Amino acid sequence: MASIFCCFRGCASFLDLGFATPAVPIKKQPTISLDQQHIGQEVVLVKDGSRICGTGGALGNTAIMQDKAYFEVRLQQSGIWGIGLGSEKADLNTVPMGNDTDSWVMCSDGYLRHNKEEMHHITQLPQEGDTIGVSYNHIELNFYLNGQKLDCPFTNVRGQVYPAVYVDDGAVLDVVFDNFVHDPPPGFDKIMLEQSLLET
């Protein structure tokens, strides 16, 4: 009798007897990436919005709303590039960014630019393969090179801002919003979507 039941159980997997539970669609959680709707005209985003190439800038798909946020950028290929923050009004078609009142960026030439001003200059320039960390707490925007703080903060960031990057002259950047190479500074965490903030 047991062998008959085992045989029936094996056959039942091939037959639809109406005992199967309906499949429940899994709701895909939104992820943070570069935003296809907020890119320069000659920008190409690949790898699900995590890699930027071409010419121009791109913003992240969510504003930084939490108190202490962190993200990283891996320099995959050298060229002209910049990393920082920008508002929705930032000029994403002009390179370098940082020449308007709506973007704050560290540029590949070592200058930190905002509103056509060179605010700071770093001497240790990032190279291919390096990771640049970005932390923002609504008071200071700081940069890190391979986990080491560069001590050249912007203190004049205002308004609702998004992660911002730009490329030109063959540069390729990978923007990382999770699973970081280096630990964020104490108290800082990955950028959260607004709904995630409501749930914490």
| pLDDT at residue 26 greater than cutoff 90 | no
Determine the Cα–Cα distance for residues 59 and 35; give it in Å rounded to an integer. Answer: 6
Quote the CA–CA distance of 109 and 123 in Å, as a whole number: 9
Which helix (H) or strand (E) segment is 103 a member of? strand 103-107
pLDDT tens by residue, 36-95: 999 999 999 999 999 999 999 999 999 999 999 999 999 999 999 999 999 999 999 999
The Cα 67–Cα 46 span in angstroms is: 29
For the chain, domains (ranges, CATH) are 34-190 (2.60.120.920)
* pTM of the predicted protein model: 0.84
Question: pLDDT tens-digit profile of 153-191?
Answer: 999 999 999 999 999 999 999 999 999 999 999 999 999
3-state secondary structure (DSSP) of residue 112: strand
In the predicted structure, residue 197 carries a pLDDT above the cut 50:
no
Q: For the chain, how are helix, strand and coil distributed in percent, rounded to 5? A: 10, 40, 50
Q: How far apart are CA 14 and CA 124, in angstroms?
A: 65
Name which of 23-27, 30-34, 102-106, 171-175 the model is least confident about.
23-27
